[in-house]
Amino acid sequence: MNWLGQGTERAGKIAWIVALAFLLVAPFVGVYPIFVAQALCFAIFAMAFNLLLGYTGLLSFGHAAFFGGAAYVTAWLLQEKHLTPELALLGGVAGAAVAGAVVGAIAIRRQGIYFAMVTLALSQMLFFFFLQASFTGGENGLNGIERGKLFGLIPLDNDLTLYFFVLAIFVGVFLLVLRIVHSPYGQVLKAIRENEPRAISLGYNVDRYKLLAFVLSASLAGLGGALKVVVMHLATLGDVRWEQSGEVILMTLLGGLGTFAGPAVGAFVVVGLQNYLSDRAGSWTTVIIGAIFVLCVVAFRKGFVGELLAWQKRRARKA
């Protein structure tokens, strides 16, 4: 096993080093740091989601609840409780973990298509909760949130400082997910994805593995959402809507389902596309995103990274 897929170890490592080098210099070569920071938050979200769909084979259609829910908690902790950003982020992640444990415990009672419907329904329930709860600001959301000082020392108001803070967290999440996927625990998850009855017959307590995967995935999705609050100064209902759950699926699918790099790549593509389209296509954006969804399912199921890997494999076979 390696970072990108089988048989491409060196190419994969080089690709990651190039990507990291680019992210390190991006703000100095004219790329708007807030845009990249925002995309990195979604990349964390998509990697968290892929941990569940790509590596465990569970399609959650409700991950926005954890992403947006953690965003609300973090925003509230920053604005009302005046906590430092790292504590507010931890609070958001803890909230997402608890929500993930509850939703996960209910959802893993069904498999496949039902699992997707159950997670969608439960996330819709959380949506109504956030709509009506007093601490979320209802339809208006929470706006104008101060970033505060990291550890009470380093002010994050400077966009460049913030950017490197977000990048550091992204790299941390990246390494963590890499560790999870390649650990014995990650191998069991893959076994469950490939053949659940067999994993059961081998004596694995499949439900416990699935629940832990769900909680981990929800927590990391929450980290992405919480971090986005710090970057964008706001938490809104849009982050907990089912459309957002659909979007993270699109990111994962477009980048390459079950590939390690795919979701992050897909997140950059989708966020970039949305930024590009919002000025030019306005309200047609949803239609275009939907059309890409359809095309992707019908004709581009491997996604960018998946196609790249398949191409490399073909070339390796020829050589």
Partner 1 sequence: MPDINLQALPGLLMLGLVNGSFYAILSLGLAVIFGLLGVVNFAHGALYMIGAYAAWYINDRWNISYWWALLVGPLLVGALGVVIERVFLKRLYKLDPLYGLLLTFGIALVLQGVFLQYYGSSGQSYSPPDQLSGATDLGFMVLPNYRAWVVLASLGICLGTWFMIERTQLGALLRAGTENPALVQAFGVNVPLMVTLTYAGGCALAGFAGVLSSAVTQVNPLMGANLIIVVFAVVVIGGMGSIMGSIVTGLALGLIEKLPIVLGYPEASNIVVFVIMAIVLMIRPAGLFGKEK
Binding site for partner 1 (CB under 8 A): 59, 61, 106-107, 109-110, 112-114, 116-118, 120-122, 124-125, 128-129, 132, 242-243, 246, 249, 253, 283-287, 289-294, 296-298, 301
Q: How many whole angstroms separate alpha carbon 224 and alpha carbon 273? A: 19
Of 183 and 195, which CB lies nearer to partner 1 in the complex structure? 195
Least distance (Å) from partner 1 to the CB of residue 14?
Answer: 32
Least distance (Å) from partner 1 to the CB of residue 35?
Answer: 24
Of 58 and 230, which CB lies nearer to partner 1 in the complex structure? 58
Of 288 and 316, which CB lies nearer to partner 1 in the complex structure? 288
Least distance (Å) from partner 1 to the CB of residue 280?
Answer: 14
Q: How many whole angstroms separate alpha carbon 316 and alpha carbon 214? A: 36
Least distance (Å) from partner 1 to the CB of residue 81?
Answer: 25
Count other Cβ atoms within 10 Å, centred on residue 212: 17
Of 79 and 259, which CB lies nearer to partner 1 in the complex structure? 259
Least distance (Å) from partner 1 to the CB of residue 189?
Answer: 17
Of 96 and 249, which CB lies nearer to partner 1 in the complex structure? 249
